[in-house]
Structure 1
Amino acid sequence: MSATAQPMPRSAFQRWALRVWAMPTSLVGVLLGLACLPFGARARWVGGALEIAALKQAPQRRWPFAAITLGHVIVGTHAGELERLRAHEQVHVRQCERWGPLFLPAYALAGVWQWARGRDAYWDNPFEVEARRLSGG
């Protein structure tokens, strides 16, 4: 993670407040993680986020995502993808802390706006552009 992607030092109260602000989105991530349990999902705390590896190894079929961040929860197809994408997904955690419950609608609207302008809804989404820039990838 680049120096600009590092979160600023925060007090215990600030960390708590950011978790509460992002909690509606984090709860969606927890539900997705729970849905992965029958497939052998494993979870661990890394960098202030709950990382959930949905599968023990790379899936045989392509998933719609390699990893997805929902608040303070990052769900990846497997541990290798979580490690590879950690810096990028941690930027999304910080975005969720800024946007709170507005993150998912803002992300979706930003993608729709890009698509309506004839651009790529994912690659040109400002949230993704920022995550690639700050994570160095």
Structure 2
Amino acid sequence: MPAPSWLRALQLLGALWTSPNTLIGLAAGALGLLAGARVRWSGRDCALVFQQWPWGPGGAITLGNVILHTGGDLQVACHTYAHRAGRGVEPTIQLDDHERAHVYQYLVLGPLYLPVYLLCGGVSVRNPFERAADHYARFGHGWWP
């Protein structure tokens, strides 16, 4: 079932608002293409996904409406930040669901996302943006911290 027109309009406004972040992601993705990455549009994730992105420790990073992924398929199981930090045993989540939550967060905060994300702890279990993305990936709701 397609999204209602008002939701599409909000997504478009959010995409315009976060376009500076998306441009950073597109530049990084273009460099990855030169090194063998592949790109595809994911309507479900509202993002261009660069797969086989050749740099980084593994996993994915979202920049606006761009997801850079070191693997071949974003629909892969991964552990939550809390699980990896030893804060309890949690079931695995889908990486694409986690990254989609970040896309939604970018649509709301736009160019403010990266500074706010870094002030909240960066890539760590302490970061409420990461915990919210894990929650969304587990339960299908609650992507906002």
TM-score, normalization: structure 2?
A: 0.72
Matched, 1:69 2:62: yes
Work out which of the residue numbers 115, 119, 122 in structure 2 matches 1:105. Answer: 115
Deviation of 1:63 after TM superposition, in Å, equals 2.8
Q: Percent identity?
A: 38
Mapped contact 2:120–2:128 kept (Cα < 8 A):
yes
Mapped contact 2:25–2:66 kept (Cα < 8 A):
yes
Deviation of 1:40 after TM superposition, in Å, equals 1.0
Distance (whole Å) between structure 1 residues aligned to residue 109 and residue 5 of structure 2: 17
Equivalent residue number for residue 126 of structure 2:
124
Tell me: CA distance 1:23–1:78, structure 2 relative to 1, closer, same or farther (3 Å).
same
Deviation of 1:123 after TM superposition, in Å, equals 1.3
Q: What is the CA deviation profile of residues 92-123 of structure 1, one whole-angstrom value per residue up to 9, with x for unaligned ones?
A: 000000110000001001006xxxxxxxx611
Mapped contact 1:72–1:93 kept (Cα < 8 A):
yes
Distance (whole Å) between structure 1 residues aligned to residue 135 and residue 5 of structure 2: 23
Higher RCO by CA contacts (8 Å cutoff, separation 6 or greater) = 1
Deviation of 1:64 after TM superposition, in Å, equals 3.0
- The count of residues paired between Structure 1 and Structure 2 equals 116
Matches within 5 A, 1:23-102: 23-46=19-42, 47=44, 48-55=46-53, 63-80=56-73, 82-84=74-76, 85-102=95-112
Mapped contact 1:33–1:54 kept (Cα < 8 A):
no
Mapped contact 2:21–2:111 kept (Cα < 8 A):
yes
TM-score, normalization: structure 1?
A: 0.76
Amino acid at match of 2:29: G
Mapped contact 1:43–1:53 kept (Cα < 8 A):
yes
SS of equivalent to 1:18: helix
- Alignment RMSD (CA, Å): 2.1
| Higher share in helix | 1
